[in-house]
Amino acid sequence: MEIVKQKPVFDKRIFWDIAFENLDYDDKVSFIIERVFERGDVEDIRQCRRYYGDERISKVLTNAKWLSLQTIYLACALFENQLTDYKCYNTAQLTPNYFQY
C-alpha cells in the first residue's frame, strides 16, 4: 500500500505571478521550494518541509542559482551547513555588486 502525501497549502501571494491552480507540485519542485523560502512565512516553510523533506529541500537550495542572503542564512540554520555550501553564495562572491539600488 502506497502512502500518498497530502499536498501543502501555500498562501497564494507567494505565487502571485502564475496560475496557482495549475501549479504542479511534483514537476516544478525547485521553483516551488525556492519561491516558498524566498517569499513564504513560517507556516509555508513548515508545509514545504513536510511535503518535500529536508534532504530534498537542502539539495535544491544549495544548487539554486539565486537566493537572498537572508534565505541562505535561514537555510544554513535549518540544515546545519555553511554559507560556502551554496552555489549562489559562491557565485555572488565572484561578482560583487558595488551599488545596490
Kindly report, residue by residue over 19-78, the tens digit of the pLDDT: 988 889 999 999 999 999 999 999 999 999 999 999 999 999 999 999 999 999 999 999
Confidence grade of residue 5 (pLDDT, cut at 50, 70, 90): confident
Identify the CA nearest to 62 among candidates 37, 80, 40, 88: 88
The whole-number pLDDT of residue 66 equals 92
Q: Is residue 99 predicted with pLDDT exceeding 70?
A: no
Joined together, the cell numbers standing for residue 43 give 507556516
Confidence grade of residue 95 (pLDDT, cut at 50, 70, 90): low
DSSP code string of 47-86: HHHHHH-HHHHHHHHHT-S---HHHHHHHHHHHT--GGG-
* Angle (CA) 18 19 25, round 5°: 90
> Rounded to whole angstroms, how far apart are CA atoms 51 and 67?
21
Joined together, the cell numbers standing for residue 12 give 497564494
